[in-house]
A and B are shown apart, each in its own frame.
Chain A
């Protein structure tokens, strides 16, 4: 089945009674069933989704809708705590955890009448960029190279979220992005991935990875849908002290693709000989296109870009090592019996966490240790400040910055580098945005010689999501990217 559903189109279909929420939900549940090989979902809330869909249909009948999007089924990254629905963070240590509370973001989805189809696979505790670190096994990219039948990674950590949208196992999904975990998998799957400004979306009820970097955001098929979804999930939350009191805008309603007179920056530090020619070509073409559409293209410099990755891999693990201390087998989640408290801790955490999570806990513990703190953590924070000021300076000159989303297109699972540092390079274009707390979006631009999607990233100043979406919408409207993966898993 090939569909071109979007949040926008489904809202219209539902409004015109062309389809009911229950039919729609059943359709997606069927897609999920037949798409099992993609391994997108950790938990499918089949019964609950159907009941919720029926309720939505009743609301529609009684003209008591929660929003225009009432009744549309979505997928939720398994990092959002959902009341009564298992929430695992794709980790063994939480594999039996059923929260009795609902995250602010998923509550907002519910308030808008969106139906949750279930919980989407991701890297364990959102640590990874291939979705290979999940306790529930890797997610497969719906895309395959035309030159090979081998399975490809969907990116990560929101790999399930991106693959599910790309493979029509939901129309839109929630992801989280700490160093690129929305934008990188979106880029690998030909979807739109939006990471909002830090503080734009509440973190309450989302399993924390690195608190100063984590931000939830949507993965969608279109920029319009990203605007719609951001409208639903954003806003101040008094339960999250880092949530911004900046008033949110009506991103969808105010979406305006007119970019005449805007200045778009191309950062020279993002250029590299190692960048695949097709990616470089897309980047150049996009700049040309924006110019044609009335924008001015400027070369800019973000001098500390190359220090972003090392700084990130100190700050994020440092915070993670502390954030993950609560998974100790005492109150919830996995407990492996031990001879005493320490033994129980060791056994539980040894068995409960996977290698990548352990690696980052060790790094984080190390860099925070007395004697090393100044040399690593403090230094990394200084670099972070420098990166922030790079962007502050840049946005004095330009409205938005255009870069590739990733240094490559999706690669084979088997080809994942064994050196973790090589793997960390996947995030090289996305990480600085998190360190600077800025909004960034990855949009599909073209396909490469292997017919794999190439994503480009736009970045704007903090809380300028509207501008970000406007420029993205301009590109989307112009190129009208409509490639979809061949559904190999149906054969």
Chain B
């Protein structure tokens, strides 16, 4: 669909991801970083930029940034510098943001994404650390803007991609992949709704063979849906402009989530001169080899490696493996279930029925009503033929509602039993026909043999026949 709209045009997309470092305290102060706290309840003297206050680097945040760099296959810079980015705004207490400009902590790297045409490498230009600003609240008072500094000073990683993406789908896949890597590493919780991960997207269009077009930056996109929609809208807008003989202005734009449109925020001419210079309150950050090596050794298995392992160990398709490993919790869940079970069956049940339930209930896998152990039990009962696939779906739904285990539900509902009268009748017939002598004896008054017939019928059904129906039918047949 998108391809059609922009047919005949190249899209060039680059993305800056702002990922909040998963850390209990801020980048340069010891204030807590909990989301949703009372306004201005997590503000130290440093965060409020009181006179004479000095930043002190939070080593844990450095560690998280370096881990992220390793996860992005990137060069770790042993010396990096914190710079001041100067501008005035009410929610920027220092009058500058401490960021990294010329010498970031992490240099070039890449991530691989899955596209229609197979694997694609997306280059990462750099990752740097910076402080977040506070929050301006414009809707609290008719005359005043209120400022909440809880966010002020929280550590962000800005991950800048190369302009390597050429479709909105690739852009979304890239952000998904980076988010997934950070979540595996535990360096960012990736919560886009809470703004822990947001993206600025640079888009330009050009005719194949022509030089690159002028780019526009769309700021602060905090869902995959918005990233996709904003790129589609922006590409179409730019194409339309060019086709009308107008030119695209280099500018920063905002995406309206209601209308799905982008609108100009400021043009290049209005761009700030941030007057970057090294922050004299902080010494250059130097990392030593042993320390970096130690972090490298502590890096957990990342999605690409797990995917490969799943394909090899469990013979998953690349497609299924990709879906499962895209989220750390999902791959852990999958591994829990698949242990000693049929991988194909488990894959179907995780990516099929379980995902459908989670989607319906709008839940993440961490909050799944079905634990991996419970799903395993269900799969066991399918595997040993106790219940059919259709019955299993019923059981799963019931598990979801009641929280009960699969076996319990199977027993309660008698799902494992044969209750079909015709089926049981043929069983009973079979038993009676193969024991004519005993039938005769019974009919001659040896009524104790009733139990024998029931037992034989049950044995024949491997215990699955509904005993009541068996009883009834035998009684009926023998009285004929």
Q: Do A and B come from one complex?
A: yes
Give residues in A with beta carbon < 8 Å to B.
Answer: 80-81, 87, 89, 94, 97, 99, 101, 103, 203-208, 210-212, 238-242, 318-319, 321-322, 324-326, 328, 330-332, 341, 345, 365, 368-370, 373, 377
Question: Are A330 and B90 touching (Cβ within 8 A)?
Answer: yes
Which 9 pairs from chain A and chain B are nearest by CB?
A: A325-B95, A212-B280, A368-B275, A211-B280, A205-B52, A326-B49, A207-B51, A81-B52, A206-B52
Among B53-61, B121-129, B313-321, B368-376, the stretch that binds chain A is B53-61
B51 near A345 with CB under 8 A, answer no
Q: Please, how many angstroms separate the alpha-carbon atoms of A279 and B53 in the complex?
A: 40
Does B418 sit within 8 A of A, measured CB to CB?
A: no
Separation of A322 and B97 alpha carbons in the complex (Å):
10
Contact A373 B277 (CB under 8 A): yes
> What's the Cα separation between A370 and B277 when bound, in Å?
11
The proximity string for B residues 450-472 relative to A, scoring 1 for CB distances below 8 Å and 0 otherwise, is 00000000000000000000000
Q: Which of B57, B90, B276 contacts A341 (CB 8 A)?
A: B90
Write the chain A residue with the least CB distance to B272.
Answer: A370
* Smallest beta-carbon distance A257→chain B, Å: 36
Is B449 an interface residue when CB atoms closer than 8 A count as contact? no
B84 touches A241 (CB 8 A): no
Q: Known: A242-B281, A322-B84, A322-B96. Is A94-B51 also a contact (CB below 8 A)?
A: yes
List A contacts of B204 (CB < 8 A): none
Give residues of chain B (274-299) contacting chain A, Cβ–Cβ below 8 Å: 275-277, 279-283
Tell yes or no: B22 within 8 A of A by CB.
no
* A residues near B93, Cβ cutoff 8 Å: 326, 330-331
A341, B283: Cα distance in complex, Å: 33
B7 contacts chain A at the CB level, 8 A cutoff: no
Chain B residues with CB under 8 A of A373: 275-277
| C-alpha gap A373/B94 in the complex (Å) | 21
Residue of B with least CB distance to A342? B88
Say whether A330 contacts B147, CB under 8 Å: yes
B84 to chain A: which residues have CB within 8 Å? 322
- The docked-state distance in angstroms from the alpha carbon of A97 to that of B49 is 14
B283's partner among A205, A241, A322, A325 (CB-CB below 8 A) is: A241
A370 to B53, CA, bound (A): 27
- A212–B84 Cα distance when bound, in Å, is 14
- Contacts A326-B93, A345-B88 given; indicate if A101 touches B281 (C-beta within 8 A): no
* Chain A residue contacts of B323, Cβ below 8 A: none
* Chain A CB within 8 A of B45 CB: yes
Residues in B with CB closer than 8 Å to A80 are 52
User: Residue among A87, A212, A322 with the most chain B CB within 10 A?
Assistant: A322
Q: Do the beta carbons of A328 and B86 come within 8 Å of each other?
A: no
Would A239 and B54 be within 8 Å (CB), given that A322-B86, A322-B96, A331-B93 are in contact? yes
- Minimum Cβ distance to chain B for residue A370 (Å): 5
In the bound assembly, the distance between CA atoms of A332 and B96 in angstroms comes to: 17
- Residues of chain A with a CB closer than 8 A to B94's CB: 325-326
With both beta carbons as reference points, the residue of chain A lying nearest to B87 in the complex is identified as: A325
Interface string of B239-275 (1 = CB under 8 A from A): 0000000000000000000000000000000000101
Given contacts A204-B54, A241-B281, A368-B275, contact A331 B96 (CB under 8 A): no
Q: Is the CB of A204 within 8 A of B283?
A: no
Given A210-B280, A241-B281, A322-B277, A328-B54 contact (CB < 8 Å) = no
B252 to chain A, nearest CB (A): 17
Q: Pick the residue among A206, A328, A369 that contacts B275 (CB under 8 A).
A: A369
Which residues of chain B in 69-100 are interfacial with respect to chain A, using CB atoms and an 8 Å cutoff? 84, 86, 88-90, 93-96
Contact B48 A322 (CB under 8 A): no
CB distance from A187 to the nearest CB of B (A): 27
Q: Contact between A101 and B54 (Cβ–Cβ < 8 Å)?
A: no
A328 near B88: Cβ-Cβ < 8 Å: yes
Cross-chain contact B86 with A370 (CB below 8 angstroms): no
The answer on a CB contact under 8 Å between B54 and A241 is yes
Residue numbers in A under 8 Å from B55 (CB-CB): 241
